[in-house]
Each structure stands twice: as C-alpha cells, then as structure tokens.
C-alpha cells in the first residue's frame, strides 16, 4: 500500500498518514527515534527510497527515522492487514514444518491432490490469494492440529 502524504502534528504528537484507502494516525511514541517536546519533528515526507510505502521524518536535532506503512497498519489494527498477517504467520509455520518434515515436494503435492507448482504457491508467504482451507490441509498433512479460536481483542473495543 502506498502512502500518498504524511503530516507531522506536533500538537497531537502523531503523524497523520494518508493512503488511497483511508487516513491513519501513528503516534510519535512508536517512532524511532521518538520525537519529544525538546526535539520536535521538523520535516516528514513520503520516502521514494521506501518505494512510497513509508515515510521518513527529520527531527530538529537532525536525527532521522523512517516508518513503513506496515507499522502504521498494524498499530491501527487495519482488518485487512491483520487478516493478511495471520495468513502470513500460518504460512511461515507451514513452511518451517515442511522444511523439517523430510517429505518430498511431489509426495506432499500428491497427498494434497495438487501440483508441485501449486504447493510452492501455498508455501509462498507473499501469496495472499491462497485459501485457509488449503493451508490447514497442508498443516494437517505435516502432523499439526490447527485450532481456530475466536476471542475478544485486548486493549481496544470492537468497532
């Protein structure tokens, strides 16, 4: 996701980040280095070196820091991002267990009723088009029980 613009709000002690989808906030306290009353944000800009997927800020002291849009989405608990993050974590676990299993790619693909190419897509952590069903089947084949638990989030009220 691209950052369209960023504004430093020294009064509210946060960055206001605009994306195509919506606007987000990111508190100074989460940034590194953290701006303070004695060392305010002098400049904040969308950083082309981050591919437009983050911003860089400069403090009055000359210190600089950068924030990737993923940190902003995670702080704001963006529902789409959080779903992708859960899928990413499951994929990483499946990949680790597959690597440790000693099973061949062809053997696992055959057991799942799919092709080796599709298995590689399933194990690709950057592919978010896979289904949770496929991933759970793979984990089960690798000797894992997967329990899905729905619980209230701590710290924030449901919107």
pLDDT of residue 94: 96
β-strand partners of 17: 6, 24
Which one of 39, 54, 75 terminates a domain? 75
Give the CA diameter of the chain: 63
CA dist 59 → 31, 65, 66, 71, 79 (Å): 11, 8, 11, 19, 32
Q: pLDDT tens digits, residue range 59-89?
A: 999 999 999 999 999 999 999 999 999 999 9
Which one of 59, 75, 91 terminates a domain? 75
Tell me which residue range forms the domain holding 116. 79-141
In a domain, 107, yes or no: yes
pLDDT of residue 14: 96
């Amino acid at each position: 996701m691209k950052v369209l613009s960023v504004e430093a709000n020294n009064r509210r002690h946060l960055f206001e980040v605009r994306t195509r989808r919506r606007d987000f906030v990111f508190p100074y306290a989460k940034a590194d280095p953290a701006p303070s009353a004695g060392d305010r944000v002098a400049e904040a800009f969308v950083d082309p070196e981050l591919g437009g997927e983050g911003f860089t800020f400069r403090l009055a002291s000359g210190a600089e820091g950068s924030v990737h849009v993923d940190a902003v989405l995670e702080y704001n608990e963006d529902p789409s991002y959080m779903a992708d993050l859960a899928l990413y974590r499951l994929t990483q676990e499946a990949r680790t267990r597959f690597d440790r299993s000693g099973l061949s790619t062809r053997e696992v693909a055959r057991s799942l009723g799919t092709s080796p190419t599709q298995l590689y897509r399933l194990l690709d952590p950057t592919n978010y088009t896979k289904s949770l069903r496929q991933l759970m089947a793979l984990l089960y084949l690798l000797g894992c029980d997967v329990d899905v638990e729905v619980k209230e989030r701590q710290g924030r009220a449901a919107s």
